[in-house]
Structure 1
Amino acid sequence: MSLSTHVLDAASGRPAPGLAVRLEKADGTVLAERRTDVDGRVKDLPAPDIGAHRLIFDTGGLSPFYPLVTIDFRVADPAEHYHVPLLLSPYSYSTYRGS
Structure 2
Amino acid sequence: MGYLTTHILDTTKGIAAAEVEIQLFKYTQDGQKVFICSTLSNDDGRCDAPLLAEDDFKAGIYELEFAIDKYFDQQGISVAEPGFLNTVVIRFGINDESSHYHIPLLVSPYSYSTYRGS
Q: TM-score range by the shorter chain?
A: over 0.9
Instruction: Give the Å deviation of 1:28.
Output: 1.6
Which structure shows the higher strand fraction? 1
Q: How far apart are the structure 2 equivalents of 1:83 and 1:7?
A: 11
Measured against aligned partners, the alpha-carbon deviations of 1:27-68 in whole angstroms (never above 9, x if no partner) come to 321111010000010242123310100100001132731110
Residue segments in structure 2 that go unaligned for 5+ positions in a row: 73-78
Task: Report the TM-score, using the length of structure 2 for normalisation.
Answer: 0.79
Q: How far apart are the structure 1 equivalents of 2:25 and 2:58?
A: 11
Q: How far apart are the structure 2 equivalents of 1:15 and 1:59?
A: 13
Is residue 59 of structure 1 aligned with residue 59 of structure 2? Answer: no
Q: What's 1:49 paired with? A: 58
Q: What's 1:28 paired with? A: 33
Instruction: Give the Å deviation of 1:9.
Output: 0.4
Alignment-mate amino acid for residue 50 of structure 2: D
Superposition pairs of residues 1-99 of structure 1, within 5 angstroms: 1-26=2-27, 27-42=32-47, 43-47=49-53, 48-61=57-70, 62=72, 64-99=83-118
Residue segments in structure 1 that go unaligned for 5+ positions in a row: none
Q: How far apart are the structure 2 equivalents of 1:74 and 1:81?
A: 13
| Other structure's SS at 1:60 match | helix
| Other structure's SS at 2:50 match | strand
Aligned CA-pair RMSD: 1.2
Q: Percent identity?
A: 39
Contact 1:9 1:15 in 2 (8 A): yes
Moved over 4 A (4+): none
Bigger CA radius of gyration: 2
